Structure 1
Amino acid sequence: MAPLALTACGDYDGSGSGNAPAMARGPEASWADVVKAADTEGQLEVWSVLNPAHNAAVEAAFEKAYPSIDLTIAQYGPPEISTRVDAEQQAGVGTVDVLLSTDRMWHEKHLKDGYFQKIVGPDALAADELLRNGAAPTTDGVPKATQTLYDDDTRLITSFAAWGYAWNTDAVNPAPSFESLFADDTYKGRIGMNDPNVNSVNAVLFGRLNERYPGLFERLGELRPTLYASSGPASEALGAGAVDAVLAISGSAVAPVKKAGFAFDSQFPALASPLYGEVLASSESPNASQLFVNWLMTPEGQEAWSAGYASVLPNISTANNSASGIEVFEAESVDPKKVAAWQDELNVALGR
């Protein structure tokens, strides 16, 4: 069966070298042939922004479903992923097949540079139809919880990193409401929060929360919170009893922590940032790549990949929430001046 003609379009030249992107390949023409060819390819290299333990669990689940394919998932941060892929494209080579990342702006920048394959798996297409529920697909490229395929079907939302609040179950009982944690001085000196200066996601989260609860920044300053670089250290401190509660924390970081409860603000949709799947046109295993991203959109794949996150599909037992109950945001697409203003306001409130 002849492969689809997914040739590189345009000449990418990020450094002025004039080198073309890595040679484009494509999956077989029918899904039955994709599955058959994936077994023949037998291996797959994936780069993921999620932690190694999570990636290892996904590896095991996929290889159980497709034992003839050796899957390797390596962890890299979003900037490192884009830098490495750019370098490989400039050199005309490709060592990675699938990206599981968060940088929509980078994807959009290279959409016409021949970087990506169109995603063709039936379960990925069905998930998109399910979320749209008969509505026409949006074409502005901005992610929403009502669609999963974007950018000419080259970008797939695989799950959402849902943000809520958490508490130490020994110190705070019964489960608190979000607003009760900062409504008075009960938790003064016992509140944790992610440092808004470390990551723009943290600044955007608190900026959005301040829009929901005017005066939140000032209240946080009065509560003298402990600042953490990310949700990981914050959740560890929570489980150890160093703080009683943490505001705006990733549900996936809280999930494995003992003595920790987690919830979303019940008065509003849960805030969540999307995680994307991308199949590179330079993949040396184009069929196994399509098989893998399609598997991610099956109930079994969502059980593994969305564990601790907000799932794309409904009724996923391992997920913290489903796409129907979230409000999607992207830190990268928020006006940098607005992000800086939120950071400045928070720093003033926190006495920094």
Structure 2
Amino acid sequence: MKHKCIRAAVTAALAALTLTACGSSSSGTSEPVSGSWDDVIAAANEEGKVTIYSTQAAPRLAALEGAFEAAYPAIDLEVVRGVDADLLSKIDAESRSGKGIGDVAVITDVSWMDANNDTDAAGKLIGPNFDNPEYERDTSIIADRFFLEGAVLLGFGWNTSLLPSGISTPQDFLEPALKGKIGIVNPATSPTYLDYYSHIEKYYGGREVLEQIADQNPRIYPSNQPLAQAIASGEISAGLMADPMLPNKEAGAPVEWAAGEHIWGAKWYGLVLGTSPHPNAAQVLANFMVSQPGQDATSVGYSSALPDVEGSLARAQEVPDQNVEVTTGDGAERYRDELEKTFN
């Protein structure tokens, strides 16, 4: 992607506007200019840059970058991808120091959102697309700060060259020939993954099936993205927690995916960071992400926050909420410890 910069020379009036746009409120929260949405866009163009921290798939983030920069050529979008644990650690550190680097984040950790509903960690959303009736604001936005961007569906993935018979249930991972050739995701990476393991226990055979999978000496990956890459490369034959792997499939990799009889998903929520150094561009990006072009970029192979998005597998609003008994508080710590003992 091309890189853009703010003009080296500006008039005193524009400099004053920029200072107003990037200034902090008395509460220490970075805020956009007051005025119309056109004023916010103008200030965002002067800022010239916006950074997103996201757990979404790299190909979809690349598509978002291209679509956003085409719509707003004066603003350079920088993408930082990572898992919830790493990104939230960065966000918390920036919030404590008051020195922000990121502007927008997309996460799945509902417990972190609950803990920050009434803090300055996230700014209030002001973009007009959040009021689009098709977006269903009442069920898609939490506390006026966290917006539903989409959802990932995870299931069973396999390499069709190595495992032509495929996978339809967790019990299929127990075949003796697959010992040492399957992959799972580290349950400590994110509460989202704790929710997935809870789902497997609930619908597919209880703790016993997880213990049996552990006896298969699975390789443990930090997230579903490197797990999918391992399936595509043939490093492993199958993975318990894979997304649909459409980019790999489109690139010619011998991969296939199944949701299983009981579908599981994790909702992606976006937020404008309270310490955003580009608060106007942050609002413009957040607004773009729930527009039709934004959803077209991020929803292929996932669930969309708008209806009728080509390539989307479902509506994100229809994905069940997390099981907070295993994703928040003492319950999360206890369940994480139990799973780490099971798999280690």
Residue 271 of structure 1 and its aligned partner are, at CA, apart by 1.4
Counterpart residue type for residue 102 of structure 2: V
Q: Secondary structure at the match of 2:228?
A: helix
Counterpart mapping for 1:308-319 below 5 A: 308-319=301-312
Counterpart mapping for 1:25-104 below 5 A: 25-50=31-56, 54-104=60-110
Q: Secondary structure at the match of 1:47?
A: strand
Distance in 2 (CA, whole Å) between partners of 1:203 and 1:89 is: 26
Q: Does 1:333 align with 2:327?
A: yes
Residue 154 of structure 1 and its aligned partner are, at CA, apart by 0.8
Distance in 2 (CA, whole Å) between partners of 1:342 and 1:106 is: 16
CA contact (8 A) 1:99 1:279 kept: yes
When normalised by structure 1's length, the TM-score is 0.74
Q: Which residue of 1 aligns with 2:172?
A: 181
Distance in 2 (CA, whole Å) between partners of 1:85 and 1:346 is: 26
CA contact (8 A) 1:181 1:187 kept: no
Residue 220 of structure 1 and its aligned partner are, at CA, apart by 6.0
Offset from partner CA, 1:56-83 (integer Å, 9 cap, x none): 3322221011112122222344344444
Q: Secondary structure at the match of 2:123?
A: coil
Counterpart mapping for 1:154-193 below 5 A: 154-173=145-164, 177-178=168-169, 181=172, 185=175, 188-189=178-179, 192-193=182-183
The 1:116–1:7 alpha-carbon spacing in structure 2 relative to 1, beyond 3 Å, is farther
| Segment of structure 1 superposing worse, 196-205 or 64-73 | 196-205
- In structure 2, stretches of 5+ residues that fail to align are 1-16
Q: Secondary structure at the match of 2:320?
A: strand
Q: Does 1:226 align with 2:218?
A: yes
Distance in 1 (CA, whole Å) between partners of 2:310 and 2:284 is: 23
Residue 197 of structure 1 and its aligned partner are, at CA, apart by 5.0
- In structure 1, stretches of 5+ residues that fail to align are 10-20, 138-146
Q: Which residue of 1 aligns with 2:115?
A: 109
Count of residues paired in the alignment: 318
| Segment of structure 1 superposing worse, 291-300 or 46-55 | 46-55
Q: Does 1:210 align with 2:204?
A: no
Distance in 2 (CA, whole Å) between partners of 1:228 and 1:89 is: 31
Offset from partner CA, 1:2-34 (integer Å, 9 cap, x none): 98x99455xxxxxxxxxxx3x532244322333
The 1:34–1:203 alpha-carbon spacing in structure 2 relative to 1, beyond 3 Å, is closer
Counterpart residue type for residue 207 of structure 1: S
Q: CA RMSD in A?
A: 3.6
Counterpart residue type for residue 304 of structure 1: A
Q: Does 1:239 align with 2:232?
A: yes
Residue 341 of structure 1 and its aligned partner are, at CA, apart by 4.5
Distance in 1 (CA, whole Å) between partners of 2:106 and 2:274 is: 15
Q: Does 1:273 align with 2:266?
A: yes
Distance in 2 (CA, whole Å) between partners of 1:313 and 1:263 is: 23
When normalised by structure 2's length, the TM-score is 0.75
CA contact (8 A) 2:155 2:264 kept: yes
Counterpart residue type for residue 37 of structure 1: A
CA contact (8 A) 1:8 1:281 kept: no
Distance in 2 (CA, whole Å) between partners of 1:219 and 1:110 is: 33
Q: 2:296 aligns with which of 296, 303, 311?
A: 303
Counterpart mapping for 1:121-132 below 5 A: 121-126=127-132, 129-130=133-134, 132=136
Distance in 1 (CA, whole Å) between partners of 2:72 and 2:205 is: 51
Distance in 2 (CA, whole Å) between partners of 1:240 and 1:76 is: 21
Q: Which residue of 1 aligns with 2:338?
A: 344
Distance in 1 (CA, whole Å) between partners of 2:99 and 2:239 is: 44
| Segment of structure 1 superposing worse, 74-83 or 173-182 | 173-182
CA contact (8 A) 2:187 2:340 kept: no
CA contact (8 A) 2:201 2:209 kept: no
Residue 149 of structure 1 and its aligned partner are, at CA, apart by 0.6
Q: Which residue of 2 aligns with 1:17?
A: none
Distance in 2 (CA, whole Å) between partners of 1:33 and 1:219 is: 54
Higher helix share goes to which structure? 2
CA contact (8 A) 1:161 1:251 kept: no
Q: Secondary structure at the match of 1:327?
A: coil
Distance in 1 (CA, whole Å) between partners of 2:96 and 2:336 is: 37
Distance in 2 (CA, whole Å) between partners of 1:192 and 1:97 is: 37
Distance in 2 (CA, whole Å) between partners of 1:109 and 1:190 is: 39
Counterpart residue type for residue 189 of structure 1: K
Q: 2:244 aligns with which of 251, 254, 257?
A: 251
Residue 245 of structure 1 and its aligned partner are, at CA, apart by 2.9
